[in-house]
Amino acid sequence: MINFKKYIADSISKVINIEPDELSNYIEIPKDSNMGDYAFPCFRLAKELRKAPPVIANEIKEKIELNKDYIEKVEVAGGYLNFYINNQLLIEEVLKEINNKKEEYGKVNIGNGRNVVIDYSSPNIAKPFHIGHLRTTVIGQALYNIYNFIGYHSVGINHLGDYGTQFGKLIEGYKLWGNEYDIDSNPIEELMKIYVRINELCKEDENVLERCRENFKKLEEGDEYCHELWVKFREVSIKEFNKIYDMLGTKFDSWNGESFYIDKMGEVIEKLEATGKLVESEGAKVIDLEDKGMPPCIICKSNGASIYATRDLAAILYRARTYDFAKAIYVTAYEQNLHFKQIFEVAKLLGIGEEKTNNLIHIPYGMVRLATGKMSTREGTIIKVQDLLNEAIDKVREIIEAKNPSLENKEEIAKKIGIGAVIFNNLSTTIIKDVVFDWNIMLNFNGETGPYIQYIYVRTKSVLEKAGYMPKIEDVDFSILNNKEALNVFKLLYQFSDIVVSTANKNETSILARYLIDLAQSYSSFYDSNKIISEDKKNTDARLLLTYAVGNVLKVGMNLLGIEMPERM
């Protein structure tokens, strides 16, 4: 398919002798289509060329050589050059490409098979999978899908919170009250009760807290009793987590949690000691980061126990060797910003190379909040994801019963819509922003939501089913689609690949989510203004092909976000 942006950049480059790749980064898509399909701002060239932007724009316009088959006209507006592409060519290119590639449309091979390691979800063993874990899980899975789509090889890692002081607490609680709780029949719920209870006791009695710390140290040293309990806690927790992952469609290539790195921390400490930068501070071993504007990164506590940072550094070293990653992405709450800044800085001392350490990426996301504020595992005030997903399904089932009770496969459709609504709600908001949980917004079939996009997709399927055939592309008169509503759709369809690439480059799922809303709304406007199936077969053929193209891209885009599409609603 013709890359109009690249063509414009190449053409300008021949006039002003600046590399096309640099010029391509300047080119914009105007919000108002009356200002052209692409705009080249000349302001950045003013200093270098020592001329006013409008003068530069006029000079380029006079000298540039453009193929009229590609670009119909170019105009100067202030310091901008506005390019108007050949709409007929655009329509033909998009429809042929989608017709040929179908669900492969938009795929590119930027990654060349290089590995991208994505660390996401990472719930804590023996604690419920609550709503606070939802965003990391769905963001990580979406990025996993998207990176695969643009030619990388994604490696999904569930870095389970299966080690640390909290297990010392849980072991102590189990010692004190284990016989009071039915762990086997309802493991997570009962372990959670123990955890909340022991935390309360730790607040009241420093000696209990010290025993908890000692339990963790014993666990690190291989104490048989502590280890057996830990294995049990881990196994029952993973079994429960998998129920949720199955509902969300989440997959992992590795379940190596913190415990996996226990025997790998010694090498990290040795490497850091060899640099001479690992120093003692109040009995602990730390890396001083004052020159980087950060507090010291603790590597070993005063009692010799490791902490999160030590294990995360061991994980970086292991992943660099095992996967030779092009990028290593961590999807966690913004509350961990400092932690990742510290370990990424310390990772420079591990000898894995500048290319690796420069591509350690933390994606901080905002919290999911209730009207009452933030949730806390320690206090026991949480919303479990499994309950949330089931409630979403129930609410959609009620809507179906009210609006379309004779619908076949109601249960399957309710699951796709309900779970899809929850996922989309978490991905369509800018990642760094907090998400306020609101059923009325999430399940609005007329709003900027997952169910709305699914509804428009189902409409495309319904239209094609009603027509009873798919036109052959060689029989289609593309000029029929050269109207405002259709062109708005085609310009969005043309952008799909760039949108997916931009989503990956910025690690920002809302870019793709917002695009899908725009495409669905654009098709809805086209549908309202143009009768799809009519007595005029030429009109019908052209509009059916546009309808198919939209449905195809909506499905591919939503699948990339980890959302299944129902065929009926």
Q: Which residue has the higher pLDDT, 130 or 198?
A: 198
57/41 Cα distance (integer angstroms): 8
What amino acid occupies position 162? D
What does the alpha-carbon distance between residue 10 and residue 76 come to, in Å, rounded to a whole number? 18
Lowest pLDDT segment from 33-37, 332-336, 437-441: 437-441
- Return the pLDDT at 166: 86
- What DSSP letter does each residue of 231-300 carry, written as one string? HHHHHHHHHHHHHHHHHHT---SB---GGGGGGGHHHHHHHHHHTT-EEEETTEEEE--GGGTS--EEEE
d(CA 157, CA 117): 7
Beginning with the edge strand found earlier in the chain, give each strand of the sheet holding 278-281 in spatial order.
278-281, 284-287, 297-300
| Cα 180 from Cα 379, distance rounded (Å) | 20
DSSP class of residue 38 equals E
Residue 371 reports pLDDT greater than 80? no
The residue annotated as part of the active site, out of 5, 133, 327, 384, is 133
| Token pair in block for residue 338 | 């400092």
Quick one: average pLDDT of 450-479?
96
Average pLDDT over residues 355-375: 83
Using the predicted structure, report yes or no on whether residue 379 has a pLDDT greater than 50: no
What is the DSSP code (8-state) at residue 161? B
pLDDT band at 374 (very low <50, low <70, confident <90, very high): low
User: 130, 327, 362, 415: which one is catalytic?
Assistant: 130
The mean pLDDT of 336-364, rounded to a whole number, is: 97
Joined together, the tokens standing for residue 503 give 């989503």
Residue 380: pLDDT band by 50, 70, 90 thresholds?
Answer: very low
Rounded-to-integer distance, Cα 240 and Cα 228, Å? 19
Dump pLDDT digits (tens) for 234-261: 998 999 999 999 999 999 999 999 999 9
Smallest CA-to-CA distance from 331 within 138, 152, 129 is with 138
Q: Note the pTM of the prediction, 2 decimals.
A: 0.92
- The pLDDT assigned to 296 comes to 95
154 DSSP assignment? E
Average pLDDT of the segment spanning 473-483: 93
CA distance 123 to 128: 8
- DSSP letter at 34 equals G
Please confirm, yes or no, whether 130 is among the known catalytic residues.
Answer: yes
Which of 119-133, 428-442, 519-533 has maximum average pLDDT? 519-533
Token couple for 51:
């001329």
pLDDT for 568 equals 93
Q: Is 71 within 8 Å of 83 (Cβ atoms)? A: yes
Contact, 395 vs 532, CB < 8 A? no
CA–CA gap between residue 234 and residue 246 (Å, rounded): 18
358 and 425 Cβ atoms separated by less than 8 Å = no
Q: Which of 104-108, 405-409, 438-442 has the highest mean pLDDT?
A: 104-108
Q: 36-40, 67-71, 78-82, 179-183: which range is least confident on average?
A: 179-183
Sign of CA dihedral 551, 557, 560, 562: negative
Mean pLDDT across the stretch 546-556? 98
133 carries an active-site annotation: yes
At 117, is the secondary structure helix, strand, or coil? Answer: strand
Q: What angle do CA 372, 373, 375 make, to 5 degrees?
A: 110
Q: So what's the pLDDT on residue 378?
A: 47
Mean predicted confidence (pLDDT) in 456-484: 95
What the chain holds in terms of domains, given with CATH numbers, is 4-85 (3.30.1360.70), 115-259+306-369 (3.40.50.620), 385-560 (1.10.730.10)
Q: What phi and psi, each to the nearest 5 degrees, are found at residue 183?
A: -65, -35
pLDDT in tens, 505-522: 999 999 999 999 999 999
Q: Which of 121-130, 165-174, 345-354, 402-411 has the highest mean pLDDT?
A: 345-354
DSSP string, 409-457: THHHHHHHHHHHHHHHHHHSS-TTS-EE--HHHHT-TTSSSHHHHHHHH
Range with the lowest mean pLDDT among 116-130, 376-390, 415-429, 526-540? 376-390
pLDDT score recorded for residue 377:
45
Q: How far is CA 483 from CA 36, 71, 120, 487, 536, in A?
A: 15, 18, 45, 6, 17
Q: What percent of the chain has pLDDT over 70?
A: 97
Q: Long-range contacts of range 231-235, CB-CB < 8 Å, 24 or more positions apart?
A: 232/183, 233/125, 233/126, 233/167, 233/170, 233/191, 234/125, 234/126, 234/160, 234/162, 234/259
Given the residues 6, 31, 96, 127, the one annotated as active site: 127
Mean pLDDT of the chain: 93
Compute the average pLDDT of residues 369-394. Answer: 72
Indicate if the pLDDT at residue 46 is higher than 80.
yes
Lookup: tokens for 146: 């998207």
Give 220 or 419, the one with higher predicted confidence. Answer: 419
Between 44 and 425, where is the model more confident? Answer: 425
Q: Parallel, antiparallel, or unpaired for β 80-85 and 71-77?
A: antiparallel
Residue 71: Cβ within 10 Å count:
21
Beta bridge partners of 297: 287
Q: Does residue 18 or residue 506 have the better pLDDT?
A: 506
Q: Residue 28 carries which DSSP code?
A: B
pLDDT digits (tens, 9 = 90+) for 143-159: 999 999 999 999 999 99
